[in-house]
Amino acid sequence: MVRLPPDPGGGTEPLAAGTAARALHLQVTGVVQGVGFRPSVHRLALRHGLAGWVRNAAGGVVVHVEGRL
């Protein structure tokens, strides 16, 4: 399992009007091992200030990601 970094803001600041925290739980199937999938997800999470995890599953991986819209 790969843990994605926490939100740099720590999630302690109140949400601004019109923003919301969201969570997505995704199952990605196909060839995901040996192609740099998890490092790519990690870079995207850093770039967008998201937190979560990636783990192996039957036939692919499961990604759980959380953050603000």
pLDDT tens digits along 4-52: 555 545 444 554 556 678 899 999 888 777 788 888 888 888 898 899 9
Closest CA to 69 of 26, 37, 24, 39: 24
H or E stretch covering 41:
helix 37-48
Checking if the pLDDT of 66 tops 70, the result is yes
Match 């600041």 to its residue by tokens.
13
